[in-house]
Amino acid sequence: MRRLRNVKIVATLGPASSDYETIRALFEAGADVFRLNMSHGTHAEQAARHAIIRKIEADTGRPIAILADLQGPKLRVGTFAAGAHDLEEGDAFRFDLDPAEGDGNRVNLPHPEIFAALEPGAALLVNDGKIRLRVERCGEDFADCTVTTGGTISNRKGVNVPDVVLPLAALSEKDRSDLEFACELGVDWLALSFVQRPEDVIEARGLARGRAAILSKIEKPAAVKAFAAILDASDGIMVARGDLGVELPVHSVPPIQKRLVRAARAQAKPVIVATQMLESMIESPMPTRAEVSDVATAIYEGADAVMLSAESAAGNYPVAAVETMDNVAQSVESDPTYREVIESSRKVDRRSVADGIVAAAREIAEATDIHAICCFTHSGTTAALVARERPSVPIIALSPMERTVRRLCLSWGVHCVLTTEIIDRFKMAVVNAARAARVYGFATDKDQIVVTAGVPFNVTGSTNILRVAPCDERLIFRTDPE
């Protein structure tokens, strides 16, 4: 099951991909991480999907990461007596806390937090930005607006407030329940929606209590402004371009995507590019050329992963969508220009011994006939640092921690292997690395590998050894000291 690419593929599960056969087919087609969207489906349905993934993991002997994506607070208008009303440019329209059904002049907006944050001149967007209004006057229970872009407003349509930081927690009561359920289930990553500030991430981390890594979805203008602090507080990042494209001018999203990917790479934290990557494949067996180019752009930028949403969860061609992403990735990564782009975008502030070790491992591997970089890692930090270097040879991460190898499935280029615990003999670490390189087809007994590890073993952040080693165990035992 060796992948012939470095970028990882995240596939969302849903009605179109809930049985063993389909999920197994998605995995074999190239899915490395499965996303459980907590906005849809019951806990029982998500638990069943989780159990199927773990069975596939056991059947194939390859670690698989599971990402639970929390819904976040949903801001919606109330209902209308007529079900819907047409708003035209220049119309006056009021949002208020009155629970009465709406009409052509007003509607309930049951979110006092919005009114507390609004100021005259702020924008209110309804139905994914299809309707836009400007706030003229506002108070603690109302906002009088002018329609700037008209359309049909109807029951419970979503509302976006791009111009202000809302005094809302990123975790609703539903999210708290879903978070605890997902952690008890044993997911590897939690995707946090509606992040506006680093405190949102810190709150989720406290609730997770180390049971899952925290991945922050960047989908609000406030999150873009506070990105450096949010990145510091997070274990990973998702560039959620859907809401970003609603709340920000759509033309500003590509440069934001590029900046966020580079910043996450520099900190050795995995970054996913998501939303509408192969949208047409929900209904078509073939993507558009623009979609293929979009996926390719994210790969050229050095993103750790690209993600499928409805394409694999509810589309008519879920397996074909994964195969398409896999084919695009292999094509891009075989292009000589890809290595040129990756090399030119490598900007790392190296300050630790571990930073120096992994940089040296990459340089040795690229300057000599080395077939893989093998790193022993307890927490996953060493493998993440090697992945940050974006080497031109495969990365094999070996760890005795099942949780670690699963989480690393999201990191660029990392082939994860669950191994026995190494107590005190570096020689055995080298032997295990050589065996893994041979078993998974990365090298033969005539080849060499680079091995990195930390002594003493199983201590987080102790990477301090680099060894160029043969893959022939007889040579290892002949040349290595005890």
Residues annotated as catalytic (active site), given as ranges: 35, 76, 217, 275
H-helix segments, 248-352: 253-266, 289-300, 310-313, 318-333, 336-344
Backbone angles phi and psi of 392, in degrees to 5:
-90, 0
H-helix segments, 239-288: 241-247, 253-266
Backbone angles phi and psi of 306, in degrees to 5:
-120, 150
The strand pair at 236-240 and 213-218 is best described as parallel
Say how far apart CA 43 and CA 41 lie, in whole Å. Answer: 7
Q: Which amino acid, residue 197?
A: R
Q: How open is the CA angle 175-185-378, to the nearest 5 degrees? A: 105
User: Which residues are CB-contacts of 461 (< 8 A; sequence separation ≥ 6)?
Assistant: 354, 379, 381, 454
Of residues 288, 238, 232, 242, the one with CA closest to residue 261: 238
73 close to 169: Cβ distance less than 8 angstroms: yes
